[in-house]
């Protein structure tokens, strides 16, 4: 009996073993190749970024500055100058080169909020020239990195923290509420969108510290993937159908419906080549006001330089003194950019340092805090980000105008002046 059962079984497993001995060198790479490829890219890109030289610039502007966020838009446009226009295969997959990013930052402690910009050292002069072009009286100096004031790993027994990344609520094609909305106020009164944040950050005490990083990485121009997706999103709203090319199924039907009758000798049969369908013009007259507003907003957003963007905030204090109410000002600042018909900002729940679900609620919150602190300390660009253009970014981050009266705000006390022409020299 055993010989009867064992015979076929042994033959089967023997054949499988023989097959494996001849094909393992093909099967294993198919399964393990993608894993090792991802690990290689992670390693080589990390090595490339670690070898970059970065500079942290502290920026101060006069109290009497009358510039609007539009001036800051030109500075973001200058930051787009780091765009590579694409890498060669060797540089991308062997040297690990990636698009460089810039971090526009605010650090607030008991001395008040201060503005910083962290950029690759080779692009420092370019950005300084752009700032001076818009803010001639600004003071720019290289600063020590303020993150070094805290331990390399948090939280610990001494310090605790809260934080998260902010991303767009809706599709990247739709913009947030921008500065032109806040400037269209009756009687010429303008609202500075950063005033709420400045007021909130001006009440820190003792060792309370808040970091806000607006990290931007340039994308391509009108031919970039995000623009194509935005245009497809717009076309879906208006009901536009693009011209379609013949599909594979059309050619299959051609073979069975046209060629076979000819082979069978039916002389009356004619071959009809498949043709694409012409695009349909949308009925714009039937669109609602909200749909028309979305279409105009998408066209406006895609017409300007854009960046892969993440907005990150971290609030740090002594563990026994950490006050969750202090971060409400950040939420209020973010909510003012919400347009119910377009887009807005929301915390990325994967990074929010509040775990609301069991099990292991405390453990999950601790891991999130470790992650967000490490990302903020190293200014690490995450995998989840949004697409925002220069107009949106300058609305979120810009140097305060004279309308912001926050007393703790670090500014230049007096405006620089040129010496009189009659001043003797020598």
pLDDT digits (tens, 9 = 90+) for 194-250: 888 988 898 899 999 999 999 999 998 766 888 888 988 888 888 766 555 666 666
Those residues with Cβ within 8 angstroms of residue 203's Cβ, 6 or more apart along the chain or in another chain: 326, 408
* Alpha carbons 110 and 120: distance in angstroms, whole number: 29
pLDDT for residue 267: 55
Per-residue confidence (pLDDT) for residue 348, from 0 to 100: 94
Phi first, then psi: give them for residue 101, nearest 5 degrees.
Answer: -125, 160
What does pLDDT average to over the chain?
A: 83
Tell me what the mean pLDDT of segment 409-420 comes to: 54
Measured CA to CA, the distance from residue 33 to residue 58 in angstroms comes to: 45
The residue with greater pLDDT, 425 or 38, is 38
242 CB-near residues (< 8 Å, 6+ apart)? 235, 279
Please give the model's pTM, rounded to 2 decimal places: 0.81
Closest CA to 393 of 272, 296, 316, 311: 311
Model confidence at 67, in pLDDT bands (50, 70, 90)? confident
Do residues 99 and 139 touch, judged by C-beta distance below 8 A?
A: no
Distance CA 318, CA 209 (A): 10
* Extents of the domains making up the chain: 42-147+155-228+288-396
Picking from 32-36, 146-150, 337-341, which range would have the lowest pLDDT averaged per residue?
32-36
The encoded tokens of residue 282 equal 């949308």
**244 close to 276: Cβ distance less than 8 angstroms:** yes
**How far apart, in Å, are the Cα atoms of 397 and each of 192, 195, 201?**
11, 11, 14
**Burial class of 287 by CB neighbour count within 10 A (0 to 12, 13 to 18, 19+):** middle
**Spatial distance between the Cα atoms of 340 and 161, rounded to a whole number of angstroms:** 31
Is residue 142 a contact partner of residue 181, using CB atoms and an 8 Å limit? Answer: no
**Can you give the pLDDT at residue 251?**
65
Query: Cα separation of 333 and 194, whole Å?
Result: 7
Looking at residues 346-369, what average pLDDT do you find? 86
């Amino acid at each position: 009996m055993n010989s009867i059962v064992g015979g076929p079984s042994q033959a089967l497993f023997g054949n499988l073993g023989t097959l494996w001995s001849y094909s393992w060198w093909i099967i294993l790479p198919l399964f393990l190749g993608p894993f090792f490829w991802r690990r290689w890219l992670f390693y080589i890109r990390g090595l490339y970024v670690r070898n970059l030289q970065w500079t942290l610039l502290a920026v101060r502007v006069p109290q009497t500055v009358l510039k609007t966020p539009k001036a800051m838009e030109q500075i973001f446009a200058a930051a787009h100058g780091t765009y590579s226009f694409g890498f060669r295969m060797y540089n991308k997959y062997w040297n690990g080169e990636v698009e460089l990013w810039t971090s526009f930052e605010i650090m607030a402690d008991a001395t008040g909020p201060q503005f910083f910009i962290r950029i690759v050292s080779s692009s420092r002069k370019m950005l300084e020239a752009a700032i001076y072009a818009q803010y001639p009286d600004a003071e720019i100096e290289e600063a020590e990195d303020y993150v070094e004031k805290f331990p390399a790993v948090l939280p610990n027994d001494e310090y605790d923290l809260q934080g998260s990344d902010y991303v767009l609520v809706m599709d990247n094609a739709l913009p947030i509420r921008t500065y032109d909305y806040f400037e269209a106020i009756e009687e010429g009164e303008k609202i500075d969108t950063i005033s709420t944040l400045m007021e909130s950050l001006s009440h820190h005490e003792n060792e309370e510290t808040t970091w806000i990083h607006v990290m931007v990485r340039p994308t391509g121009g009108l031919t970039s993937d995000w623009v194509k997706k935005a245009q497809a999103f717009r076309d879906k709203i208006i009901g536009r159908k693009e011209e379609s090319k013949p599909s594979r199924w059309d050619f299959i039907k051609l073979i069975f419906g046209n060629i076979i009758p000819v082979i069978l000798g039916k002389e009356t049969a004619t071959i009809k080549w498949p043709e694409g369908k012409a695009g349909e013009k949308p009925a714009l007259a039937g669109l609602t006001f909200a749909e028309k507003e979305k279409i105009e907003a998408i066209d406006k957003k895609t017409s300007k330089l854009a960046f892969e963007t993440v907005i990150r905030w971290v609030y740090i204090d002594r563990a026994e003194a950490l006050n969750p109410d202090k971060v409400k000002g950040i939420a209020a600042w973010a909510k003012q950019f919400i347009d119910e018909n377009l887009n807005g900002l929301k915390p990325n729940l994967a990074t929010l340092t509040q775990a609301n679900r069991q099990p292991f609620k405390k453990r999950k919150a601790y891991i999130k805090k470790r992650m967000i602190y490490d990302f903020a300390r190293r200014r690490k660009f995450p995998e989840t980000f949004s697409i925002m253009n220069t107009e949106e970014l300058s609305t979120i981050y810009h140097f305060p105008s004279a309308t912001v009266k926050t007393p703790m705000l670090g500014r230049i006390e007096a405006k620089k002046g040129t010496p009189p022409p009659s001043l003797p020299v020598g």
